[in-house]
């Protein structure tokens, strides 16, 4: 038996009703009534396919399918069910509902695996409330349980109290840290980009998750009259900002794909038509799948900013905001995924992931692989998000074959 597009559609749409907004999207932030309802729904689904469910101390939900040898570390799969505001119903949820469908397929085919298989719902991937990636960070032993339980959201609510509001006592729950106790991790996820659709393919096998460098640059010039100040005597902070925007684009294009570079925010002061800009603030976000290319490009952009400041007679300051190195997927697992894709007749390609995922954390403690399914028009983090049901089913078929192969 293969996976059923109808069942997947039914489960995803039911989950997508929970936290539906008037704007037609879904808002489901952790430890809200909607989140607790979604957790109950998913836990029920897990149990209906025979998984033994448990929540760990930071709110990850784990459903376990026993193997012949219960002492061996399990093969794990899963994703997240929290969303950004007014999200679609696919981001994260495809990997959770898909993993549960994969368990149905294994059950129907009478598969008994040697290793146990675990389906995980990572808590708070998006991190609209509290720190993003909280669940996978804790599972990968990159954050202590206490630091997460004692964190607060923007309104001052304590993680621990918000969690227990759902009716569970944290004290009796197992620790999330699983170093040495996960054989392999595979995440099924929507691409959130246009490549698979454009190439008319069913799945993408992820080679790496992009690393990111983000920094904020501010320039300080001198305000002056737009008519009275000769061009040679200006200290124009807006001009410096504009040159930075162009520099990020120019340098990134010179490096070539898969390098991407974005200035998403430019703010200028005083922002008046006939006044030379006194201050400006430019965000820079550069990403690449290769760490050394990323470091050298980020360094080159910073050196160029220094030169721009000199050329425009402005003062500048750079504040680093985010430094994440690229995460390589396991070549062995990617090969297994490739073999399984061929076996189920899925047309595939190899690509990298621009967005980050829970897999990024899991890769710190175990070998990982990622399977992407196409996103229509590349849309994501929006209610326009859509993936053809049969394409999700193809992804689930590749996932279930991969889990069987890895848990032998």
Of 19 and 67, CB closest to Zn ion: 19
Of 149 and 186, CB closest to Zn ion: 186
Of 79 and 334, CB closest to Zn ion: 79
Query: What does the alpha-carbon distance between residue 106 and residue 381 come to, in Å, rounded to a whole number?
Result: 31
Of 125 and 236, CB closest to Zn ion: 125
Query: Nearest approach, Cβ of 125 to Zn ion (angstroms)?
Result: 6
Q: Which residue is nearest to Zn ion (CB)?
A: 92
Cβ-in-10-Å burial (0-12, 13-18, 19+) of 69 comes to: exposed
Query: Nearest approach, Cβ of 291 to Zn ion (angstroms)?
Result: 23
Q: Do the beta carbons of residue 188 and residue 396 sit within 8 Å?
A: yes
Query: Nearest approach, Cβ of 90 to Zn ion (angstroms)?
Result: 9
DSSP labels, 32-56: SHHHHHHHHHHHHHHHHTT-EEEE-
Of 122 and 219, CB closest to Zn ion: 122
Residue 273's SS3 state is: coil
Of 295 and 384, CB closest to Zn ion: 384
Query: Nearest approach, Cβ of 22 to Zn ion (angstroms)?
Result: 23
Query: Nearest approach, Cβ of 164 to Zn ion (angstroms)?
Result: 26
Of 133 and 248, CB closest to Zn ion: 133
Query: Nearest approach, Cβ of 36 to Zn ion (angstroms)?
Result: 20
Q: Report the interface residues with Zn ion, using CB under 5 A.
A: 91-92
Measured from the Cβ of residue 342, the count of other Cβ atoms closer than 10 Å reads 13
Local structure of residue 121 (DSSP, 8 states):
E
| Cβ-proximal residues to 386 (8 Å cutoff; 6+ apart), any chain | 88, 90, 375, 376, 379
Query: Nearest approach, Cβ of 189 to Zn ion (angstroms)?
Result: 6
Task: Report how far apart, in Å, the C-alpha atoms of 45 and of each of 6, 63, 75, 100, 257 are.
Answer: 15, 10, 19, 7, 41
Query: What does the alpha-carbon distance between residue 375 and residue 391 come to, in Å, rounded to a whole number?
Result: 10
Cis omega (within 30 of 0) for bond into 270:
yes
| Cβ-proximal residues to 299 (8 Å cutoff; 6+ apart), any chain | none
């Amino acid at each position: 038996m293969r996976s059923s597009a109808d069942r997947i559609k039914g489960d995803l749409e039911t989950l997508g009703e929970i936290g539906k907004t008037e704007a037609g999207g879904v808002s489901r932030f952790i430890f809200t009534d909607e989140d607790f309802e979604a957790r109950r729904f998913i836990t029920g689904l897990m149990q209906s396919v025979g998984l033994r469910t448990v929540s760990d101390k930071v709110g990850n939900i784990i459903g376990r399918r026993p193997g012949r040898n219960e002492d061996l570390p399990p093969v794990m799969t899963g994703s997240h069910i929290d969303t950004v505001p007014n999200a679609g119903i696919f981001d994260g949820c495809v990997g959770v509902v898909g993993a549960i469908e994969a368990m149905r397929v294994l059950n129907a085919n009478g598969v008994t695996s040697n290793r146990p298989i675990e389906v995980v719902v990572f808590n708070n991937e998006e991190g609209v409330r509290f720190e993003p990636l909280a669940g996978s960070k804790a599972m990968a032993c990159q954050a202590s349980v206490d630091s997460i339980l004692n964190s607060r959201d923007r309104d001052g609510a304590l993680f621990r109290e918000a969690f227990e509001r759902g009716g569970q006592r944290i004290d009796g729950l197992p620790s999330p840290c699983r170093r040495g106790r996960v054989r392999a991790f595979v995440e099924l996820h929507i691409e959130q980009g246009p490549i698979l659709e454009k190439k008319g393919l069913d799945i993408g096998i992820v080679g790496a998750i992009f690393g990111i460098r983000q920094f904020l640059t501010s320039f300080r010039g001198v305000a002056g009259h737009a008519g009275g100040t000769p061009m040679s005597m200006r200290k124009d902070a807006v001009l410096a900002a504009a040159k930075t925007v162009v520099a990020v684009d120019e340098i990134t294009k010179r490096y070539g794909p898969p390098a991407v570079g974005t200035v998403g925010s430019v703010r200028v002061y005083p922002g008046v038509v006939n006044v030379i800009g006194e201050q400006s603030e430019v965000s820079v976000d550069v990403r690449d799948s290769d760490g050394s290319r990323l470091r050298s490009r980020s360094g080159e952009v910073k050196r160029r900013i220094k030169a721009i400041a000199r050329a425009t007679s402005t003062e500048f300051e750079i504040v680093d905001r985010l430094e994440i190195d690229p995460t390589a997927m396991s070549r062995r697992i990617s090969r297994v995924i490739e073999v399984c894709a061929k076996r189920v007749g899925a047309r595939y390609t190899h690509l990298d992931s621009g967005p980050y995922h829970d897999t990024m954390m899991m890769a710190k403690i175990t070998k990982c692989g990622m399977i992407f399914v196409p996103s229509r028009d590349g849309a994501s983090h929006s209610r326009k998000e859509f993936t053809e049901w049969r394409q999700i089913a193809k992804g689930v078929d590749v996932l279930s074959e991969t889990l069987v192969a890895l848990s032998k």
